[in-house]
Amino acid sequence: MLALSLVIWLPTSARGLTDHITAGASATSQPAATQPTTAPTAPPEIATLVRRLADRSFQAREEAQRMLATLGPDATKFLAPYITDPDPEVAARIAALVGTPDDPDVRIAVALRLIESTDPDWMERGVHMLFAEPGKVHDAFMRQTRETTGIRRIIFEPIREQMTSWKRQDDLFQRNYARAMEKDPARAEQLKKSHADTRLYCAEAAYWGAFEAMMEEKEHERDRAGAEPTPTTRPGP
């Protein structure tokens, strides 16, 4: 009965929801410098559909995912917070829906969410999402992570270093590639392949650097907790 009611209710709601999301996206559009740092609150209808991704009925889960897919890219920013949901199936379905967003700001938001989870698999996916097209996200990513603190800063620093390294290599590549195309197209193709390899290397180095930094910080936290246990009673005079 649940699956049947879901099939009947969703199509009508989805049409209105699509209009609501599109209108909201236009109304909240603003320069990147003034974008809120917290994830936007999902409309109740989206939150309801996301909850149904964990429904006991397979048909209900499939239908909820199908309806979320019809909402288009404007819904991605609302789905991003659920990409690290503790329910593995919900997280997997949201990841399939989100993919690699075309919008650079949304892509960064999703990638940061994955990286901040400190789950190794999600961290790796987030880093590679950034390095899929680093030229599209470099400036905004560097700006958004410049003033992070605590463990977030520790995790992001290796990624920032590799993003900076890639940018230097990319600037050099652009100059050399343009000259090579004029004089030696075969050499230009070699440069292009080498540059692609550099991007993949930077992505892997960024991930492993972030992962190792995170593990070291967690080890330090355990050491500090062991050396300075939190008192459970009021100190004596």
For the cut 50, the answer to whether the pLDDT of residue 10 exceeds it is no
Could you give the 3-state DSSP secondary structure of residue 150?
helix
For the cut 90, the answer to whether the pLDDT of residue 127 exceeds it is yes
In 3D space, the residue among 47, 235, 214 whose CA is nearest the CA of residue 123 turns out to be 214
pTM to 2 decimal places = 0.72
- What is the arithmetic mean of pLDDT over 38-50? 80
Domains of the chain by residue range: 1-28+38-99, 102-237
- Please report, for residues 108, 162, 180, 195, 201, the alpha-carbon distance to residue 191 in angstroms, rounded to integers and kept in the order given: 28, 19, 9, 6, 15
pLDDT of residue 65: 95
For the cut 50, the answer to whether the pLDDT of residue 82 exceeds it is yes
In 3D space, the residue among 68, 134, 71 whose CA is nearest the CA of residue 100 turns out to be 134
In 3D space, the residue among 29, 149, 119, 120 whose CA is nearest the CA of residue 77 turns out to be 29
On average, the pLDDT of the chain sits at 82
pLDDT of residue 8: 28
For the cut 80, the answer to whether the pLDDT of residue 56 exceeds it is yes
For the cut 90, the answer to whether the pLDDT of residue 123 exceeds it is yes
- What is the arithmetic mean of pLDDT over 129-154? 94
Percent of the chain past pLDDT 70, that is, above it, reads 78
- 132-144 residue pLDDT tens: 999 999 999 999 9
For the cut 90, the answer to whether the pLDDT of residue 205 exceeds it is yes
Sequence-ordered list of residues with C-beta below 8 angstroms from that of 167, at least 6 positions apart, any chain: 134, 138
pLDDT of residue 180: 93
pLDDT of residue 228: 54
For the cut 80, the answer to whether the pLDDT of residue 33 exceeds it is no
